Amino acid sequence: MAKFVVCTYKAHDCAFTATCNGFEVFNCKDGGSGMAQLTPHLIGKGNVLRFQFTHKGPDATFSSGVREADEGEMVNSLEDGDLQMPAGNELVHKFDSQFDELKQLLDTASVADAGTMLAFAMDYCKAIRTGNKAALKKFNRYRMAEASKTFGIPLEALEPQMLEMFTFFKDGGADVSEGDVEVQMITHDKVFEVKRKDGNPLLFKKEEDGSSSSNFIAAILADGPQVVR
């Protein structure tokens, strides 16, 4: 039985973004190739993969495909796909899958609003700045459980690693206020992303050799607000 659904692309002289059921999976600025796992974003039947092209040069080429992959399989992002450059600026591909992780999440999540998610994002950043591991464990309970299931790692072994990753942003990576961020609804008024107004993820830390970041995608579940991606 296949374990993952992946999308690959190879492109030249063009730029585009791609979403799967509202979740951004690619942001290609100048061609190249890439691969993304779609499994966490699938709803079973009627999945929508949408490419939005912002630039097409005179030598533009594009190919993409969606397929299932077995656990441990090396996926070649340069393989040819069935999806080709559209005549216009948008390419929409609808497909069914045996996986429905996003549907399961939506079935358990409550309708929320931007104000609620903004307040949660500020609480989350405060927990990181103060090193409140108990709060971070609570806020990330869903995400850690999903990671444990996906990677086959016992939760008690995974938790310390993930909490250490979150607290990496304690010094300078979570210094934001409400005026620095924006809230975007991803799907069904249930899943939202909070990111910085400059386009960077909520957690963002510059380093000497680059930067580190972590997205903040959240929903309201039975035990309160949770980071879900």
Residues 145 and 168 in one domain: yes
Tell me which residue range forms the domain holding 25. 4-103
Instruction: State the pLDDT at residue 2.
Output: 52
Residues 149 and 223 in one domain: yes
Residues 114 and 220 in one domain: yes
Per residue in 208-224, pLDDT (tens digit) is 788 889 999 999 999 99
Residues 113 and 222 in one domain: yes
Among 103, 125, 146, the domain-final residue is 103
Residues 155 and 49 in one domain: no
Closest CA to 188 of 22, 20, 18: 22
Cα separations in angstroms, 229 against 15, 48, 86, 152, 186: 25, 19, 30, 18, 12
* Count: domains in the chain: 2
Instruction: State the pLDDT at residue 71.
Output: 75
Q: In the beta sheet, which residues pair with residue 156?
A: none
Residues 165 and 82 in one domain: no
Among 103, 135, 166, the domain-final residue is 103
Per residue in 34-50, pLDDT (tens digit) is 999 999 999 999 999 99
Residues 27 and 71 in one domain: yes
Eight-state DSSP code of residue 116: H
pTM (two decimals): 0.85
Map 118-173 to HEC letters: HHHHHHHHHHHHCCCHHHHHHHCHHHHHHHHHHHCCCHHHHHHHHHHHHHHHHCCC
Cα 147 from Cα 152, distance rounded (Å): 8
Residue 178's CB: how many other CB atoms inside 10 A?
13
